[in-house]
Amino acid sequence: MTTVQKDMIKDVLYEDAESIMLCLQGRVVMENEEDKDVFNKKDEFGRNVLITASMLGRSDMVRELVQHGAQVNEQSTRGYSSLHLAACWGHLETVKTLIELQADTQVVTFKGERPVDLARRYSRTDCVDCLLLAEAKQDLISFITFIKERMSDTDKKLPKDEKTLCTRTCAAKLDWIQKFENPTVADFLAQKKEMEEILQHILIKLTT
């Protein structure tokens, strides 16, 4: 780990946002290529600067690091992601920030644990609720994506009326996701179930 990379870790530890920004802005003029790679270098515990910031609940730093190129789903040598550590330390706002930045809620550690599993183990109830909600939302979005992809599959030739029904149903659910305020896990599950019921006869064709 170079001096610049060590300084980045230190800035995170001491919550020195100004120094972090100066370092990120200075990456373009650094002569040492290894110094430019500030995001991927790991400490003796296998943690990079983003994972460290997440573990300490530095939400603003997390956002800046990701916006400047840090990989939100990068894992430590034992499989812990930024979301894992933010969740197990109970940093709810950082968990929300990481989810907003497209952190994977399904990534697992070397023990096969997801972020929500660690949050449960350490009784981080708020983080558990947040992660379960994010998982339910992603499950609905993934189901919509699956329908749209299967519809466009040239081998799955649907009649025009069935294609129209699929298109309208997917659009309606995406609109619901964008506009419905304060949905619960139950709301997302209900929306997916309704979608499955509407498209039940078509799903058989799409999945065979």
Orientation angle between helical segments 17-26 and 59-67, nearest 10 degrees: 10
152-183 per-residue burial string, b: 16 or more CB within 10 A, e: under 16: eeeeeebeeebeebbeebbeebeebeeeeeeb
Say which amino acid occupies 86: A
Structure confidence by residue, pLDDT tens digits, 84-113: 999 999 999 999 999 999 999 999 999 999
Distances, alpha carbon 76 to alpha carbons 45, 121, 133, in Å? 8, 19, 25
Q: Is 75 helix (H, G, I), strand (E, B) or coil?
A: strand
Per-residue confidence (pLDDT) for residue 157, from 0 to 100: 77
Residue showing tokens 């430590």: 76
- Rounded CA-CA distance 203/199 in Å is 6
Structure confidence by residue, pLDDT tens digits, 8-67: 565 565 455 555 555 565 544 344 444 445 656 666 566 788 998 999 999 998 998 898
If pLDDT is split at 50, 70 and 90, which confidence band does 133 have? very high
Structure confidence by residue, pLDDT tens digits, 187-197: 999 999 999 99
Q: Which of 169, 154, 172, 153 is nearest to 201 (CA)?
A: 169
- Rounded CA-CA distance 137/1 in Å is 38
Q: Picking from 84-88, 142-146, 201-205, which range would have the lowest pLDDT averaged per residue?
A: 201-205
* Ordered domains of the chain (ranges, CATH): 3-123 (1.25.40.20), 129-206 (1.20.1270.10)
